[in-house]
A and B are shown apart, each in its own frame.
Chain A
Amino acid sequence: MISTNAKTVFALLLLAASSLPASAQQTATVTISVKNHHFQPAQIQAPAKVPIELHVKNLDPTPMEFESVSLRVEKVVAGNSEGIIRLRPLEPGSYNFFDDFNQQTNGVLVVR
């Protein structure tokens, strides 16, 4: 016999599991490239209040470090490769980022 409590826990687990695909669908994917030490495009956009998956394609042969204090992330992306950065849901506004290995390389994420 399965107790009522066990059934309730099982039902809650099922409910939680069924909500995962819905959350995954809400993730916004944004792609940016780095070439000749410039972000392309230098300004990217993303929707507010949903998780964001930022794909950073480093098209240069040298590594770069994507860094942003306001986004609270840093990630080294090797030359000629791609890094994926998962961002928390953000409030509307502008968030600056840069390449810490080449600090003249700046960009901005505009969240609307």
Chain B
Amino acid sequence: MPNTRCARAIIFAAPFIVAAGFGARAQDNPAFYRDVETKYIFGFTEGSGIGLEGEREFSLETVARMGKRDGRYWASETKLEYEFTPNQYVQFELGPLVSTHVIKDVTDMDNRNQLAMSGFFGEVRYLILDRGPSSPLAITLSAEPEWHRIDETSGARVKNFGLELKINADLELVKNRLYLGGNLLYEPEATHDPDGIGAGWEKESTGGISGALSYRVLPSMFVGAEIWYLRHYDGAWFNTFTGDAVFLGPTAYFQLSRKVFMTAAWNVQIHGRDVDDPGSTLNLAEFSRQRGKLKLAVEF
């Protein structure tokens, strides 16, 4: 019914309209829409922020991947993350990883129902281009080495090393309100004999690019959307293309209190190609149908 649809649209849009009006009135008050750290406002896409000198943070960040071609598939990895910023250019993060896998009747995977301490990660972020009063663009380089004892996809015991290299950029489109973000990703990794056949180190790599838009509807809340294009290869240097995928979804960021914030994102695979399955419209061999991210952080 058109009237019902119209009513639903009004109900859905009302909070945003109210928020936009509220925001417009508050726009001239600098205490209301303060400068913001952009690192976490774009979902899976990371902004350029490196925190404030002297700031430390503890967070729980969970990334979950759901759905394969058949059966039941859930895999998550949680970072127990300690983050600190020793000066105005560099940020460090480190911590253990915890994974869960619930896999049942998925082709080429063992059934599994497990929770495990799955590895360790570190990250260094370096700000190479600073945002200033006359330059709205900021760029950060990040490098994240990871060690895994549990395979992220299958949950099997492995010896895996990876290095996630990223360029994180964002552009302030409207002062303290609207931001455009983007990442460029290169992630080589090596797994020792993953199939237990004495094959030695098996190498693979993932490349990706993302774009995200995030709007501050309230002083303590951002909503937005992001799109990711990911390509997977055998070999550490983009050697043999095996498939790609496009993910799209909404993002949100909430400042819950003065020192506590939460960020959430949900991505759905909307297109993909699998070299081994030419007729497919999704790549469910290397990627999942959906993925979600939830992060809760406390600064101190």
* Residue positions of A touching B, CB distance < 8 A: 67-75, 87-88, 90-96, 98, 100, 103-104, 106, 108
Contact = CB atoms under 8 A, between A and B. Distances in A.
Contacts of A91: 130, 132-135
A44 to B, nearest CB: 15
Contacts of A68: 35, 52
Contacts of B193: none
Interface residues of B, number: 22
B31 interface: yes
Contacts of B85: 72
A106 B133 contact: no
20 contacts: A67-B52, A68-B35, A69-B52, A71-B88, A72-B50, A72-B53, A72-B85, A73-B54, A74-B53, A75-B54, A88-B88, A91-B134, A91-B135, A93-B133, A93-B134, A98-B31, A103-B258, A104-B31, A106-B30, A106-B31
Given A91-B132, A91-B133, A91-B135, A73 B52 contact: yes
B157 interface: no
Contact of A87 (B30, B37, B88, B131): B88
A71 B88 CA distance: 8
A74 B132 contact: no
B39 to A, nearest CB: 11
A56 to B, nearest CB: 13
Given A68-B35, A74-B53, 8 more contacts: A69-B37, A70-B35, A70-B133, A87-B88, A90-B132, A91-B133, A98-B31, A106-B31
